[in-house]
Amino acid sequence: MTRLAALISTLTLIVLTACGNLGTSTPSTETTHVRLPMGFVANVQFAPWYVAMERGYFEKEGIELEFDYGDYDTKGVQLVAAGWTPFAIASGDQVLKARAQGMPVVTFVNWWQRFPVAVVSLEESGIQAPEDLAGRRVGIPETFGAASYIGWKALTSATDLQEERVELEVIGYAALENLTVGRVEAAVVYANNEPVQLEQRGYETNLIPVADYAPLVSNGVIASEEVLEDRPELVRAFARAFLRGLQDTMNDPDAAFEICRNYVEGLDENERVQRAVLEASLEYWGNGPLGRSEPEAWRNTVEVMRNADLLEADVDAEQAFTNTFLP
């Protein structure tokens, strides 16, 4: 079976599986209904979306937005490519992989302007810079195409750290447990998550953000080339509504956290940690004009993924994003 035939078969299966669960209803003359693939469960890191929803920003744009939680880590990209839903949240590496496979998806809003992957260690380890990782045991969730692995490859290629001098160990998503018992001396994590939890538990940490050494693309909002061409006003309206929610969250995170209580279960029981996660996330959402993609970050991500053999074919970075639809 050719790659194109396999791709068509895969997309057909995904659409059939999602039938009746995800997609857009036939839009009326006044309102367009959109189901947005989200993460597995509601989370405080989706605060900008909840703020935009609660304050009626989507409704004012003629969009009836519905959050659809599920295992959409990569399926959201595929569903957009298949035309089953107009928009999804996806990381830059997922967009580039999809384009390498012939799926014409494009990021039109860059949500996370700083790449959130970092290497964390306990202060007692003395690890403060990438070169300090030489000769150390470093935990990583996985060693294939996940953002953590891409971030690790970018860090080693952008610094003097020689990868073969590091004892890299796959530990899954158990960085807290492995660090605190000394199984590893450092771990590749999301800077707005595990380091926050460690500090909330009383541990002093050192952090090496990948973004300090290599600009990479992270999460954004995507659409297909067809939707961008045929429904530009819907795309602009969706971008406006989301970015209003994002700006409000940046301006008043306390109010945003209160809104999250209406969408996220268990915030009362875990309020201190979740507030800290939201505060840490703000640093990665705003590093310039909200929503804007930087060409250098896209080109660098393509180069890192190509060198790590994570792309099935060459990809033109300039075609993977657009800033045309930003307010």
List the pLDDT tens digit at each of the 327 positions of the chain: 444 444 444 444 444 344 334 333 333 457 999 999 988 899 999 999 999 999 999 999 999 999 999 876 678 899 999 999 999 999 999 999 999 999 999 999 999 999 999 999 999 999 999 999 999 999 999 988 789 999 999 999 999 899 999 999 999 999 999 999 999 999 999 999 999 999 999 999 999 999 999 999 999 999 999 999 999 999 999 999 999 999 999 999 999 999 999 999 989 888 999 999 999 999 999 878 999 999 999 999 999 999 999 999 999 999 999 999 999
In three state form, how does the secondary structure of the chain look?
CCHHHHHHHHHHHHHHHHCCCCCCCCCCCCCEEEEEECCCCCCHHHHHHHHHHHCCHHHHCCEEEEEECCCCCCHHHHHHHCCCCCCEEEEHHHHHHHHHCCCCEEEEEECCCCCCEEEEEEHHHCCCCHHHHCCCEEEECCCCCCHHHHHHHHHHHHCCCCHHHCEEEECCCCHHHHHHCCCCCEEEEECCCHHHHHHHCCCCEEEEEHHHCCCCCCEEEEEEHHHHHHCHHHHHHHHHHHHHHHHHHHHCHHHHHHHHCCCCCCCCCCHHHHHHHHHHHHHHHCCCCCECCCHHHHHHHHHHHHHCCCCCCCCCHHHCECCCCCC
Q: Which residue type occupies 267?
A: L
**In contact, 148 and 117? CB cutoff 8 Å:** yes
Q: Which residues, including other chains, have CB under 8 Å from residue 145's CB and lie 6 or more apart?
A: 93, 97, 305, 310
Question: Nearest 5°: phi and psi at 60?
Answer: -65, -25
Token pair of 65, please? Answer: 């937005």
DSSP strand pairing (186-190 vs 117-122): antiparallel
Cα–Cα distance measured from residue 302 to residue 316, given in angstroms and rounded to the nearest whole number: 8
- pTM reported for the whole predicted model: 0.88
What does the pLDDT read at residue 13? Answer: 42
What does the pLDDT read at residue 145? Answer: 73
Cα–Cα distance measured from residue 173 to residue 194, given in angstroms and rounded to the nearest whole number: 10
What does the pLDDT read at residue 23? Answer: 39
User: Positive or negative CA dihedral for 188, 256, 46, 112?
Assistant: negative
Token pair of 254, please? Answer: 């306390």
Q: Which residue type occupies 135?
A: G
Crossing angle of helices 147-158 and 295-307, in 10° steps, is 90
What does the pLDDT read at residue 17? Answer: 42
**In contact, 46 and 38? CB cutoff 8 Å:** yes
Q: Which residues, including other chains, have CB under 8 Å from residue 251's CB and lie 6 or more apart?
A: none
Left, alpha or beta for 83 (phi > 0: left; psi -120 to 50: alpha)? Answer: left
What does the pLDDT read at residue 73? Answer: 66
What does the pLDDT read at residue 19? Answer: 39
DSSP strand pairing (63-68 vs 32-37): parallel
What does the pLDDT read at residue 21? Answer: 40
Q: Which residue type occupies 235?
A: V
Token pair of 269, please? Answer: 């029981």
What does the pLDDT read at residue 286? Answer: 86
Note every long-range contact of 195-202, with CB atoms under 8 Å and residues 24 or more positions apart, other chains counting.
195/118, 195/120, 195/280, 196/273, 196/276, 196/277, 196/280, 197/273, 198/120, 198/122, 199/276, 200/272, 200/273, 200/276, 201/176
What does the pLDDT read at residue 71? Answer: 72
Find tokens 């990479």 and name the residue: 216
What does the pLDDT read at residue 72? Answer: 67
